């Protein structure tokens, strides 16, 4: 057991931490974060860190942004809460929905607000079902996700998520959710198979899955443009073009989960634009408010909206909504985030510093511990391996990526270890070239220490 402070003990005795080894946490205690400014946060011992994961891939405009704080204060003093049920409305929600309709890829007819990414994807499933009932296709209900996808933690969205800890002993995935292949060339390609050929094979596998299930039973396919929590997996060239051709042949909706990739992360406003996706609908959250307050949402295409109108006439109401769907605080902050992004040319900034990020990331690929360094824009990961040539992994029980994240944290860099011994990097979009270099310097030191440790303790 480490030296635990009073705050540590209070934490351990009171809080259940999400995605944490609860048993190990009792020994190590928490890292208590106290304040933030720009790309930095400080813990309760005064130690400064670069927030190399932007919180949870979300604090895109960094910490302590006075304009966002003022937008929140102003909204709360004007009207702290009003809702959208029964036709009530408020200006911040209207303004935000107008803005989203203008900027999202594909044709959005309307926007439905939620409080999180999980809720956004959850309603995507409900809408796909509702839509197919409305258009007289009650059998067309299955949703295809992918191995290693991350779409949330509600019963339905944890089922979409393709990661074992979200299923084991939660009795998931639920019925009518299927998983297609993970588009990871480094791990999934046959020897010598090109990215294009790998993409073709995955599209063929998808079509075979749809045909086996019967296309009349498949409603939608959901995908993150770049998989985040599954290991920052950038799909192979031509992947989405080939996948979408299959979906179009079988009248299957394409849902783009833009919860991480949306709002500049990949160097375009939306990941769909970077990866060549033409979505029928998208889910957003996280950077929509730069995580100053919770807010998510989905865009609804005209066909689905017309079906919702028909159902409303038949049933008497659209029977979905949570108290905080379109909370004024979230909407006001999101309006300000989008204004700042436009005014300060944040997407252009990402494009200009992405070359530093990509160069340094690629260089990490040379590290003896790194099997693959991958990423796009300002999101990346390194996958740690025992043997670069054979791609052999460490025993997952050794916790090599967790150890690397800890060594980086000791250096003053917060990053996140993911399944498959990946370590993810996803800093605030406002990061400068100098700060990117500082981030990678710390990461290099952290990996050096991890290698020493692994040679001593693991091999
Ligand atoms: C791609 C993606 N979709 C959905 C979610 C779920 O969002 P939330 O944690 O806000 O429910 C996440 C969370 O990390 C995510 O990365």
* Site to substitute for ligand 1 among 114, 260, 379, 416, most atoms within 8 A of C-beta: 260
Residue nearest to atom 11 of ligand 1 (CA): 118
If pLDDT is split at 50, 70 and 90, which confidence band does 106 have? confident
Mean pLDDT estimate for the chain:
97
Kindly give the distance from the C-alpha atom of residue 140 to the centroid of ligand 1, in angstroms, as a whole number. 26
CA of 224 to the centre of ligand 1 (A): 10
CA dihedral 432, 438, 439, 440 (to 10 degrees): 110
pLDDT at 276 over 70: yes
Quote the CA–CA distance of 82 and 422 in Å, as a whole number: 42
Ligand 1 nearest-atom number relative to CA 154: 11
Lookup result for tokens 């799909």: 235
Q: What is the pTM of this model?
A: 0.98
CA distance 35 to 48: 10
| Nearest C-alpha neighbor of 233 from the set 189, 171, 268 | 189
Q: Please give the pLDDT value at position 107.
A: 86
Do the Cβ atoms of 420 and 383 come closer than 8 Å?
Answer: yes
Q: Looking at residue 2, what is its pLDDT? A: 67
For residue 121, give the ligand 1 atom closest to its CA: 4
- 147 DSSP 8-state letter: T
Residues 6+ apart with CB under 8 A from 16: 22
Is pLDDT at 331 greater than 70 in this prediction?
yes
Measured in Å, residue 264 CA sits from the centre of ligand 1 at 16
- β-partners of residue 349 are none
Ligand 1 neighbours, Cβ below 6 Å, are: 56, 116-118, 121, 150-152, 224, 228-229, 257, 259-260, 285
Ligand 1: nearest atom to the Cα of 261: 1
Please give the average per-residue pLDDT across 310-322, as a whole number.
95
Assign residue 211 a region: left if phi > 0, alpha if psi is -120 to 50, beta otherwise?
alpha
Between the CA of 330 and the centroid of ligand 1 the distance, in Å, is 17
CA of 54: how far to CAs of 39, 99, 297, 415, in Å?
A: 8, 24, 20, 9
Render pLDDT for 369-396 as a digit per residue (tens, 0 to 9): 999 999 999 999 999 999 999 999 999 9
Name which residue sits closest to atom 3 of ligand 1, judged by CA. 151
- The DSSP call for residue 16 is P
**pLDDT tier, 1 (very low <50, low <70, confident <90, very high otherwise):** low
Q: How far is the CA of 123 from the centre of ligand 1 (A)?
A: 13
Q: How far is the CA of 258 from the centre of ligand 1 (A)?
A: 9
First and final C-alpha spacing in the chain:
25
Instruction: Give the pair of three-digit tokens for residue 1.
Output: 């057991």
Q: Are 440 and 365 in contact (CB under 8 A)?
A: no
Distance separating alpha carbons of residues 286 and 265, to the nearest angstrom: 11
Q: Which residue among 229, 259, 416, 422 has the greatest number of ligand 1 atoms within 8 angstroms of its CB, and so is best to mutate?
A: 259
Most informative mutation of 123, 285, 296 for ligand 1 (most atoms within 8 A of CB): 285
Q: Is the pLDDT of residue 104 over 70?
A: yes
Model confidence at 154, in pLDDT bands (50, 70, 90)? very high
Ligand 1 atom nearest 286 alpha carbon: 10
CA 258 to ligand 1: nearest atom: 1
Mean pLDDT on 352-356 = 98
Does residue 238 have a cis bond before it (omega within 30 degrees)? Answer: no
Whole-angstrom distance, CA of residue 259 vs CA of residue 268: 14
Q: Could you tell me where the DSSP H helices lie in 251-398? A: 271-275, 302-315, 328-343, 346-364
C-alpha 121 to ligand 1 mean position (Å): 9
**Ligand 1 centroid to residue 118 C-alpha, Å:** 6
- Among 151, 163, 298, the mutation site with the greatest number of ligand 1 atoms within 8 A of its Cβ is 151
In testing the pocket of ligand 1, which one of 119, 124, 125, 150 has its CB within 8 Å of the most ligand atoms? Answer: 150
**Closest CA to ligand 1's atom 4:** 151
For 112-136, give one letter per residue: b (16+ CB within 10 A) or e: bbbbbbbbbbbbbbebbbbbbebee
Tokens of 151: 């779409």
The residue count for the chain = 459
pLDDT of the residue at 261: 98
Q: Report the run of H or E that residue 407 belongs to, with start and end.
A: helix 400-411
Ligand 1 centre from 91 Cα, in Å?
Answer: 27
Residue 151 CA, ligand 1 centroid: distance in Å: 5
Q: What pLDDT, on the 0 to 100 scale, is given for residue 42?
A: 98
Residue-by-residue DSSP string for 162-229? --GGGTTTTT-SPTTEEEE----HHHHSPTT--HHHHHHHHHHHHHHHHHHH-GGGEEEEEE-SSBST
307 pLDDT higher than 90? yes
CA of residue 176 to ligand 1 center, whole Å: 21
38 pLDDT band (50/70/90 cuts)? very high
3 pLDDT band, cuts 50/70/90, is confident
Cα 59 to Cα 289: distance, rounded to the nearest angstrom: 8
Select from 54, 118, 258, 282 the residue to mutate for testing ligand 1; criterion: most ligand atoms less than 8 Å from CB.
118
* Mean pLDDT along residues 131-141: 97
Atom 16 in ligand 1: residue holding the nearest Cα: 260
DSSP 53-100: THHHHT-TT-B--HHHHHHHHHHHHH-S----GGG---HHHHHHHHHH
| Closest CA relative to residue 262, chosen from 104, 153, 415 | 104
CA of 152 to the centre of ligand 1 (A): 5
Over residues 35-51, the mean pLDDT reads 98
């Amino acid at each position: 057991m480490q030296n635990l402070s009073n705050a540590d003990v209070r934490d351990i005795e009171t809080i259940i931490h999400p995605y944490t080894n609860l048993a190990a946490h009792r020994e190590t205690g928490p890292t208590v974060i106290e304040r933030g400014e720009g790309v930095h946060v400080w813990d309760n011992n005064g130690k400064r860190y670069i927030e190399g994961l932007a919180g949870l891939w979300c604090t895109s405009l960094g910490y302590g942004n006075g304009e966002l704080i003022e937008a929140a204060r102003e909204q709360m003093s004007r009207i702290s809460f009003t809702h959208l049920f029964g036709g009530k409305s408020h200006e911040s929600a209207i303004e935000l929905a107008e803005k989203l309709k203008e900027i999202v890829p594909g044709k959005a007819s309307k926007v439905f607000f939620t409080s999180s990414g999980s809720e956004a994807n959850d309603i995507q499933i409900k809408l796909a079902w509702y839509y197919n009932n409305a258009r007289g296709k009650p059998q067309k209900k299955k949703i295809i996700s992918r191995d290693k996808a991350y779409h949330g933690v509600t019963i339905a969205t944890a089922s979409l998520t393709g990661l074992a800890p979200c299923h084991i002993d939660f009795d998931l995935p639920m019925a009518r959710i299927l998983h297609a292949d993970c588009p990871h060339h480094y791990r999934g390609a046959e020897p010598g198979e090109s990215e294009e050929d790998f993409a073709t094979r995955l599209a063929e596998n998808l079509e075979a899955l749809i045909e086996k299930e019967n296309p009349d039973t498949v409603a939608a396919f959901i995908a993150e443009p770049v998989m985040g929590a599954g290991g920052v997996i950038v799909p192979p060239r031509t992947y989405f073009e080939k996948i979408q051709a299959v979906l179009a042949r079988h009248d299957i909706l394409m849902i783009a989960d833009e919860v991480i990739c949306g709002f500049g992360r990949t160097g375009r406003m939306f990941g769909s634009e970077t990866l060549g996706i033409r979505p029928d609908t998208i889910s957003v959250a996280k950077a929509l408010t730069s995580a100053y307050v919770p807010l998510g949402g989905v865009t609804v295409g005209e066909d689905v909206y017309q079906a919702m109108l028909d159902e409303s006439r038949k049933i008497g109401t659209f029977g979905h909504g949570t108290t905080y769907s379109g909370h004024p605080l979230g909407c006001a902050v999101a309006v300000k985030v989008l204004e700042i992004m436009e005014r300060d040319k944040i997407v252009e900034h990402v494009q200009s510093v992405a070359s530093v990020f990509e160069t340094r990331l690629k260089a990490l690929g040379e590290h003896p511990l790194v099997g693959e360094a991958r990423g796009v824009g300002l999101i990346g990961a390194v996958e740690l391996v025992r043997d670069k040539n054979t791609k052999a992994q460490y025993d997952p029980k050794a916790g090599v990526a967790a150890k690397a994240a800890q060594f980086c944290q000791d250096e003053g860099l917060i990053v996140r270890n993911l399944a498959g011994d990946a370590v993810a990097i996803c800093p605030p979009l406002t990061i400068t070239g100098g700060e990117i270099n500082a981030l990678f310097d710390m990461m290099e030191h952290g990996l050096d220490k991890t290698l020493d440790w692994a040679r001593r303790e693991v091999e």
